Structure 1
Amino acid sequence: MANLITTSGLCKQYGASMGVKDLDLAVPEGVIYGFLGPNGAGKSTTMKMLLGLARPTCGTITVFDKQVNRKNRLAILKETGSLIESPSFYAHLTGKENLKIISTLKELPDNEIDRVLKLVRLEDQKNKKAGQYSLGMKQRLGLAGALLGNPRLLVLDEPTNGLDPAGIQEIRELICSLPHSFGITVMVSSHLLSEIDQMAGHIGVISKGELVFQDRLSVLHDRSESCIAIRTLNNQAARRVLSSQGVSCQEEGGCLLIPKLSDHQLAGHFLQFLKEDIGVVRIEERKKTLEDIFLELTGMAVNL
């Protein structure tokens, strides 16, 4: 699979600190690439450099097989839609009038405005002034502007900010449909792990400006290990029984954690519990979430 975006040794320095350090991104064509990291990790800075809005301290960026520089920047931007940080609009103009300005600059027909307004479900609010839009509506209007002209690449920085749960689901479904329905490659950043988990097929994890993981999302999930959590009326006795049968376990939160076993093996252990008069009150399978794996990768016990 060919890469639509490639960076090599990409760095951005602010004074004595490195906002982005030696970043080697590889975004395949035709996928949703999730760019995941906590706030301040360097996601927005990286996306600004991809779009030519910030100049790299060192390193190279290639988009559409063209190196991002002054010579190629406009040609790249003609095929790129973007929404970086909070969208900005003329408050005294309607949503449709704001999109008209963008479409005029891109030399697009007027029916393109109606198409993107329908995609983001703002067609009933198109004649309302943007200054009267809610934060979520402004976010959707920004996404509509990014979709004008059906770009090959869409770069979205935290696109679900300010949306209610229903709005988040709508935008998520729209983003997920873009590669298949319109052939658009999407690079979407977020600090919300659950959002990336439900949208992206490929993922890059950034921490303190450095890329700590990059691969298919399925590869990241493969790192998780299932276990069985058992709660009994006598964990000490249950642990003794399990140890005598060669099962390693540890206690956490009032439960005994043992490796994932077959149903037949579990039934044998529970039969022994019954013989020892040990009551079992709860059993469940536990698996590391994407957040658990992310925190292990970055070594950061932070509240995301």
Structure 2
Amino acid sequence: MLSLRRRKVRAGETSTSARAISSDLLSDLYYFNMTCPGQPGGLANNGSDTELVLGPAARTLLTLGYNIAFCGLLRVDELLKIQFHDITTWQNPETGQTKVTIKLPFRKTSQFGDIKPFVFWELPEEFQHLCVVRALAAWLKKTRMTQGFVFRKIRAQDRRAEENEPMPSEQFLAMFRHNLLDIKVDYVPYGTHSFRRGGCQWLSVERRWPLRQICEWGGWSQDFSHLTIVKYLISWNDNPHVDRDDFFNMHRLPAVACPTCNRSCHCA
């Protein structure tokens, strides 16, 4: 991999990361998929991606995939290998709050076991477009699935594959790109790594998690001399968080108020 990168640099090619997807863009996708008229979808009979139409089941599955990959900072190949026996749910009898625990079967950075579980609590209404618990409940309600791979191939007429085989990453990417076109967004800068990069930036910029906490949650080494996490936080290909004119503009409009602390200042 390093030698390939060196050859590309010598040839004058520039390494470009997939653009990080933002929580606002995921919100647009979520509400579009929620309100899109029900229609049969799936691959055309000839299997051509160019004739892919997303049906209600595909959209529900995509929302679940988006949220787990974004909030869990997962690679798509890790996401698509999740099976139902890797998932446990628990509801607090006093508060009624539900949590979902996902234990990944494998990780690129933990190939010899000792993989820490990902625990997702039900998020407030303001974050329903990112809530793993709600998305999983919607998928279970629609499919009644209880075993096998969670993410299976979507076939013609919006049918999920009966055989217990995971969805290929190529199909997930094709469906994601068609979903972006639904909301008039150019899909070219985005890829399967957009969720891992976007989730990392969301936790850092919007949720203001410390860098050490992000590394611990995402499974990165906390040896900051490697600076691996920097490429997830910064890339020239990403949309800017602040307009260049507003860096020192103390009178710019306030940000969206945080539903937890109610602060809307840019220094919160």
Q: TM-score, normalised by structure 1?
A: 0.26
Between Structure 1 and Structure 2, the one with more strand by share is 1
Question: Whose relative contact order is higher, 1 or 2, with alpha carbons under 8 Å and at least 6 apart?
Answer: 2
Q: TM-score, normalised by structure 2?
A: 0.29
Structure with higher Rg: it is 1
